[in-house]
Amino acid sequence: MTSLTPPSAPKRNKTLTQHGRSREDPWFWLRDKDDPAVMEYLTAENTYTDAVMKPTEELQATLYREMRARIKEDDASVPQKEGAYFYYCRYEKGGQYPIECRKHDSLDNPEEILLDVNELAKERSFLEIGVCENSPDHRYLAYSVDLDGSEEYTIHIKDLATGDLLQDRIARTYDSLEWVNDSQTFLYTLLDEHQRPRQVYKHRVDSDSQQDELVYEEKDPRFFVSLSKSESGRFIYVACEGNNMSEWYYSDANNRDGTLRLIEPRRKDHEYDVSDHDERFFIRTNIDGAKDFKIVETAISTPTSDKWRDFIEHEPGRLITDFLVFKDYLAVEETHAGLPQIRVLALETSESRYIKFDDEVYDVALVPGREFDTSTLRFMYTSLAIPPQVYDYEMPSGQRTLRKEQEVLGDFHRGDYVSQRLFAKSSDGVNIPISILHRKETPLDGTAPLLLYGYGSYGTSIPASFSSTRFSYVNRGFVYAIAHIRGGMELGYDWYEGGKLIQKKNTFNDYIACAETLIQENFTAKNNILAVGGSAGGMLMGAVANMRPDLFKAIITHVPFVDVVNTMLDDTLPLTTMEYNEWGNPNDKEYFDYMLSYSPYDNVTKQDYPHMLIVCGLNDPRVTYWESAKWTAKLRAMKTDHNLSLLKVHMDSGHAGASGRFDFLKEVALDVAFALMVFKK
């Protein structure tokens, strides 16, 4: 497709041996970022990709302009009341980053700017805000900043009364921080040498962080530590989570000594999370076989599981995913038959009702508020064709009020599109949901190109939600589809377990079944599909490229997890030990053999492959750049076709790509331009 010669990464002998089995890995050397040859190779890949994509520069500019034209640039969130203040964030026309603001007493009063992220990001190629939390007395703002995509944040404190930054600087933190109610003290999490959040420290405002006191230290490298504060503001929680296990501690938020008390000790396969109401805890738990979770209650004075009583019983097939506690109500987020639902319960009477939604395919989520003593619940509703809508729901009456619908400008008109749900039968007979979006006039006779998105890992359900950038595909005749494959939780916890560990291949077979069904139903045709997935979804992309390359014309994948065995053997990487329960521990031969049988990098073979655009970030701590680099090098050496294999390395960002909202659109424009080029659209 091009006369340009792609870079060729030289081979260097490297033999890896595990369980008596030897593997040759001639591109293992690409792991060493300090080797000048590695940086030369990555730079050469970027130069090649830029050269191949140069004929599309005008198209990329057009795509960027049209995607930006859909954005209402001077937009603002719906304010949330906390005490005497209304807090919100807004964007200014031309601004890449949000501005955090508040108003005192009334929305008619003058605005106070708390943090203008545009000012922080001046002359920087990357800046990401981690936490942004005002103190309970509204005097201070604690915020943290990542400057390179490494997800290592530095905490700063701003005195909102004077506008001054205080001396406080706390480096190498995780994006987790909670204020004690004295407004002079906060807890935060610190990263260890492997970039794992395993320590909780207590800090006093306007003091030297070297004097901070250790509150908790996690000894097990399989567990990460995070902080949260209950809706009532009474407790700060320390959650230790990993490997499908949980252990929570609580601390009196009115007492700055930070003393922690255990709720329930960790045990294998027990997951739970906690909030409080008066003198009781509400706990979402999968204890006693409640695979799709139930909610129990217990006295704060006797929090262990032998005292738990069912409050919302377990109902198989109805997955409880989240809950919010109010003074008089409990709001519960559930998933049933592949669709999210919200249930509201009156605590005094235990009467409950579901909020009704009419669309066939949609997404809805609770929006955590800043007030405990309120009868108003906020939620966000969206679908593939409906921009996000923020509603306030009066829990006593069931009355809902639309507070805001995201404005989408430019070439988007809601009535031009159709969304629907379809089911595919996987290789073992299981029905897999597919969410579909297309323009009304798009021919469904097999001639339309189709973008098929998939993820299928960590129990993450992919919502049928709105994305304005998607319409740069759909308005050019693409059908857009989401494969809700196993490994997610769209159909409950069993759905997750059916796509992990030694059942991981179900994820790949499900995706292939979705592609085949969409072909059979004339939404598209073989070799007219664009496969898209990133991170763990990049593993999916690599696996299906090896298994059924004939189905796909092209694959676009960002930060793909493709060197599965080598990554999971390296316990110095941040996520490896925590994810043994997702993929297995390859130090165990059973898991090693199974991983090796599907690991995309290890299974590249001499065959034709689709066109590929592979994108990664040099500073990514989650999926390292070298996975993409090694995979690209091996694909080039092995494949028998003349299709494109492009590698784009973002040298100054991490797992999530660009931090600015317009810079991000430029990355999307490259993806879309690549697709339109190879599909000749």
Residue 581's SS3 state is helix
Query: Which residue in 601, 605, 596 sits closest to 614, CA to CA?
Result: 601
Q: Residue 106 carries which side chain, given as an amino acid letter? A: S
- The three-class DSSP label of residue 457 is coil
- Closest to 3 measured CA to CA, from 55, 60, 40, 44: 55
Q: Decide: 296 and 310 in contact? Cβ < 8 Å.
A: yes
Cα gap 664→658, rounded to integer Å = 5
Establish whether 535 is a catalytic residue.
yes
Q: Is 77 part of the annotated catalytic residue set?
A: no
Do the Cβ atoms of 356 and 320 come closer than 8 Å?
Answer: no
**350: exposed, middle or buried (Cβ count in 10 Å: 0-12, 13-18, 19+):** exposed
- Check residue 578 and report its DSSP letter: G
Provide the sign of the torsion angle of the four alpha carbons 556, 559, 560, 563, taken in this order.
Answer: positive
- Closest by CA position to 373, among listed 174, 93, 628, 83: 83
Between CA 677 and CA 655 the distance in angstroms is: 26
Judge contact between 144 and 130, C-beta under 8 A.
yes
Of 148, 168, 620, 671, which residue is the catalytic one? Answer: 620
Whole-angstrom distance, CA of residue 179 vs CA of residue 365: 26
Amino acid identity of 232? S
Catalytic residue among 535, 599, 653, 659: 535
Task: Give the residue carrying structure tokens 């070298």.
Answer: 626
The answer to whether 404 touches 389, Cβ cutoff 8 Å, is: yes
What is d(CA 446, CA 449) in angstroms, rounded to the nearest whole number? 8
**What are the structure tokens assigned to 282, written together?**
């509400």
Q: Which one is catalytic: 146, 175, 655, 671?
A: 655
Report which DSSP code applies to 76: B
Give 81's contacts (C-beta < 8 A, 6+ positions apart).
Answer: 87, 370, 371
Please give the full DSSP string across 207-229, using - where no structure is assigned.
S-GGGPEEEEE---TT-EEEEEE
CB-based burial, 470-487: b 16+ in 10 Å, e otherwise: bbbbbbbbbbbbbbbbbb
- C-alpha–C-alpha distance, residues 548 and 640, integer Å: 15
Residues known to be catalytic = 535, 620, 655
